[in-house]
Amino acid sequence: MADATASPRTYPARTWAEVDLGRLRENTRALARVAAPARLMAVVKADGYGHGAVPAARAALEGGASALAVARPDEAIPLRDAGIEAPVLVFAPASPEEVDLYGRLHLTATVVGRDQAAALARAAREQGVRLAAHVKVDTGMGRLGFLPDEALAFWEELRGLEGLELEGLYTHFATADEPEAAYARLQWQRFRGLVDHLEARGVRPPLVHAANSAALLRMPEARLDLVRAGIALYGVRPPNTPPRTHLAPALTWKCRVSTVRTLPPGWGVSYGKEFVAWRPSRVATLAVGYADGYRRSSAHRAQVLLQGRRVPLIGRVTMDQVMVDVTELDGDPGSEAVLLGGTGPHAIEPEEVAAWMETIPYEVFTGLSARVERRYV
């Protein structure tokens, strides 16, 4: 009798992402060279942008990153469990209930407001710990932080707060990858103005930082003490940045070909019958769907690679399967399809998949669901 307790992990995955850690390391190396003498902080939030936080963090540290960042404190647990000791900055504002976790895991906290900072410092004192903290300044992202003209007074107040060790000051750009550079420059001027103002009063935070990937590549003046690179580590050059730095996508997304059949003219394909075969059509059914992160919005324009050649997706994307037209393909379509990545002239770039899905590469990567097995090469 079949063993009903067998773990599903013992069966081969139907869809998987191959992450090339060598590429991640090389991308980091290239970015660290651009950033120097500024240090590079590797952003590995959201499970390393879907690539796997622990392997991504290790590869980035091997490639020259000196610190890591996550969005939420619990994202640091697997990093510390894996024995990674590099500093980890948490972007989300720390709450007093989390002080324990910050202390235990030696995380660096973000502070964004007076009450938050005071509560955090109180909790830290009660627990007998001292938390490294970075003050966030909102120079125009409109999301988190002090406005620049509040920041000096706040910094002075915080300096007197026992329980916190002020280590950094940072801001985040809203438009560093947009064609129009004026707003990013305005944010930069606001931040630079604040840093100068602090300096004139004898305040020099040890780590002042502003740049994300786009600003790192496009705004040399904004590199400061540290840059926080995310998307570029994974091999995607942000739009409107100079192409000088070679980056290669680290992730290849694949799935299995379930069946190949010939359908007669007039036969509908997928929900809604939005595709109807107009000739005898060879149709391959692939084991990937929107529950894996292959979005419905990619219908009618996406392509996949079979045997190194591009074939069109036909009909709607279903939860677990999609269909592609392989009529034009000579020979056997093979047992594997490449959904993103691949080698040769027909390789599918993350930006293309993102355009088909009406989104950005960040969301394609972080949208890969838990059903997509990660494999490391």
Ligand X SMILES: Cc1ncc(COP(=O)(O)O)c(C=O)c1O
- Give the one residue of 55, 230, 249, 350 binding ligand X; rule: CB under 6 A: 230
Q: Is 137 in the site for ligand X (CB under 6 A)?
A: no
C-beta of residue 310 within 8 angstroms of C-beta of residue 328: no
Is 271 designated active site? yes
Which of 11, 45, 49, 376 is an active site residue? 45
Q: Is 212 in the site for ligand X (CB under 6 A)?
A: yes
Question: Based on the number of CB atoms within 10 Å of its own CB, is 140 exposed (0-12), middle (13-18) or buried (19 or more)?
Answer: buried
* Residue nearest ligand X, CB atom distance: 230
Question: CB under 6 A: which stretch of 119-127, 207-215, 249-257, 265-273 binds ligand X?
Answer: 207-215
Query: Least Å distance between CB 270 and ligand X?
Result: 34
Query: Least Å distance between CB 264 and ligand X?
Result: 48
Q: Is 51 in the site for ligand X (CB under 6 A)?
A: no
Nearer to ligand X, 27 or 252 (CB): 27
- Give the one residue of 121, 169, 231, 340 binding ligand X; rule: CB under 6 A: 231
Other beta carbons within 10 angstroms of residue 9's beta carbon come to 8
**According to the annotation, is 319 in a ligand binding site?**
yes
Q: Is 65 in the site for ligand X (CB under 6 A)?
A: no
Question: CB under 6 A: which stretch of 229-237, 259-267, 337-345, 350-358 binds ligand X?
Answer: 229-237
C-beta of residue 191 within 8 angstroms of C-beta of residue 3: no
Q: Is 229 in the site for ligand X (CB under 6 A)?
A: yes
**Of the candidates 13, 81, 52, which has an alpha carbon nearest to the alpha carbon of residue 234?**
52
Query: Least Å distance between CB 34 and ligand X?
Result: 13
Nearer to ligand X, 213 or 270 (CB): 213
Question: CB under 6 A: which stretch of 56-64, 126-134, 210-218, 313-321 binds ligand X?
Answer: 210-218
User: For binding to ligand X (CB under 6 A), which residues are involved?
Assistant: 43, 91, 172, 212-214, 228-232
| Residues that are catalytic | 45, 271
